Amino acid sequence: MNRTKNSTKKISIPTIILVLLLTLTACMTDTPPRIVGESPSRSAPTRMSPPTAYEEPTPEDNSPVPLTVLYKQGTAERAMFEPAYGVYLGAWLHPGANIRMFENQAGRSHAVYVHEMHLGDDVPINWLLSSIAALATPMLIIHPPRLPQEEDGTPHGDLVIYLAHRLGVFNLPMFVAFYPLAGARYSMDATEYTLMFRYARAVFLAYAPLTAFVWVAPNTYATPQSPMYPGHDAVDWVGVPLLAAQGGDGFSSDILADFEPFYMAFQAHKPIMVLPLGISHFSRVNYTYNMREAEAEIARVYEALQAGFPRVGMIVYGDASSISSQIAPQDSFAISVENSLMQAYENAISHENFLSVLEKDAPPSTRWVRSAFHGYHWEGVTYLNPATIEQEIAANLPRTGFTEINGHNYVDISRITNKTITVDLEQGVIFIAS
């Protein structure tokens, strides 16, 4: 129900909430390692952005091809609802859109559907029931109240308790992206924001413990040291929007390259979701459609995210996302309006690594980690960066026999004898196991 000053009853904060809040405000002690990268090219020309699929060099283009490097780390606990392997499919549809119709268009079920609301709005019971009927897990995007507290008269803390209590009645797994920063214009400073986020997390632990809390970063430059990050103990998943907007000639940026620093900063700490993903097929800047480019980009991005970013646990396509309209209002990211885009989407999500059902209790398992360095494939030979060998997989580095690529020395993988190394040229990935 809509809560007003005249109709709202005062809700007191239980002692358990205060205890949990004090517990969650403990300081963070762990910090992620510094991201190490490679310097720009100063020698032979190479493709500096790793491809999502290997391209056999032609006589006219016989340059080294960069490959993503993944290596195995010890067994680790999974975060709340984090899959042991694979990527949840999610969709952010227009309000009132028919989930079954969308899934018929997409050719398969989705694990998560998204609905956005403001704190203090009516709980979307009909939408929740529709998601449950589709055997999908609901995700609520919770924005701050529409009116400031001094105008509404209801303490925002009471609104959090009310919402958590109502959602807890369902006793079902859910995701809540609380106060997303992407595209937001909040009046709160970093201290106010993080305290409110941590308070909400504590309240949901008490009233709706099956809810995973998602922190949505403002952009791909965010790190765990960002002042608006609430802390590892208050966050279950981290999310960030990836929007391929149209530029003057093609897309304005490579969203995979933009995403990599964010991924490297958080991969050791939290599962990561793309919230939302949007590929523009129309721009109002020059009023042109770019259907083929959008179709190819959908295929490229889904392939790359599932193959080379192993801790991406969910991709939510923003068919109707307010975040998209706030960040890039001149672009159209909807795919359900065009048959060719839906066909491209259906093809992109057909890979077996994409999941349609939530994993509630994934057991601890060995984790694949993305290396800070690229490998290369060149003239039939695959190479690793010496830093990968020494710093990341702790293998013996040969003293001689290096090959110079892009101004740096590299090692033929056949010379690494104490590791199991496989190369998937189709996906553009080097896998290093113990």
In the chain the domains, ranked by start, together with CATH numbers, are 65-75+371-433 (no CATH), 80-364 (3.20.20.80)
What is the mean predicted confidence (pLDDT) over 360-382? 93
Q: Mean pLDDT score of the chain, rounded to an integer?
A: 87
Once rounded to an integer, what is the mean pLDDT over residues 407-420?
94
Collect all residues with Cβ–Cβ distance below 8 Å to 62 and sequence separation of at least 6.
379
- In this prediction, residue 13 carries a pLDDT of 42
For residue 131, name the pLDDT band (cuts at 50, 70, 90): very high
> What's the pLDDT at 288?
87
Rounded-to-integer distance, Cα 214 and Cα 178, Å: 6
**Secondary structure (H, E, C), 111-172:** CEEEEEEECCCCCCHHHHHHHHHCCCEEEEEEECCCCCHHHHCCCHHHHHHHHHHHHHCCCC
Structure tokens at 368: 């694949």
Mean pLDDT of 352-362: 94
Residue that is written with structure tokens 């559907």 in the block: 113
Across-strand partners of 186? none
Cα separation, 121 vs 143, whole angstroms: 10
Res 54: pLDDT: 40
pLDDT value at residue 74? 85
Residue 289, φ and ψ in degrees, nearest 5: -95, 140
Amino acid 153: pLDDT: 67
pLDDT (tens digit per residue) in 47-88: 334 444 444 444 446 899 999 999 998 888 999 999 999 999
Angle 301-320-216 from CA coordinates, rounded to 5°? 65
pLDDT at 286: 83
306: left (phi over 0), alpha (psi -120 to 50) or beta: alpha
* 177-224 tens-digit pLDDT: 999 999 888 889 999 999 999 999 999 999 999 999 999 999 999 999
The pLDDT, as a whole number, for residue 420 is 94
**Cα separation of 9 and 49, whole Å?**
57
CA distance 112 to 265: 25
Which 3 state secondary structure label does DSSP give 192? helix
- Average pLDDT on 245-273 reads 94
Cα–Cα distance between 13 and 156 in angstroms, integer? 12
Higher pLDDT among residues 90 and 95, named by residue = 90
| pLDDT of the residue at 61 | 61
* Whole-number percent of the chain with pLDDT over 70: 85
Q: Say if residue 12's pLDDT is above 70.
A: no
Q: What's the whole-number mean pLDDT along residues 27-49?
A: 34
CB atoms within 10 A of CB 196: 20
Helices and strands counted in the chain (H then E): 11, 20
> In 3D, which of 133, 93, 142, 143 has the Cα closest to residue 113?
93
Which pLDDT score, from 0 to 100, does residue 150 have?
64
Q: Which residues contact 162 (CB under 8 A, 6 or more apart)?
A: 3, 11
What is the pLDDT at residue 169?
Answer: 96
Lowest mean pLDDT, pick from 23-27, 145-149, 272-276, 357-361: 23-27
Q: Which residues of 398-416 are buried (b: 16+ CB within 10 A; e: fewer)?
A: eeeebeebbebebbebebb
pLDDT value, residue 18: 40
Over residues 12-21, mean pLDDT: 42
- Higher-confidence residue: 203 or 364? 203
Starting from the edge strand earliest in sequence, which strands make up the sheet with 331-332, in order? 288-289, 282-283, 331-332
Give me the pLDDT at residue 24, please. 43
Q: Over 80: is that where the pLDDT of 25 sits?
A: no
Residues counted in the chain: 434
CA distances from 112 to 104, 108, 173, 175 (A): 15, 12, 11, 9
136 phi/psi in degrees, rounded to 5? -110, 160
Q: pLDDT-derived band of residue 434, with 50, 70 and 90 as boundaries?
A: confident
CA 87, 229, 269, 27 torsion-angle sign = negative
Among candidates 160, 144, 224, which has minimal Cα distance to 198? 160
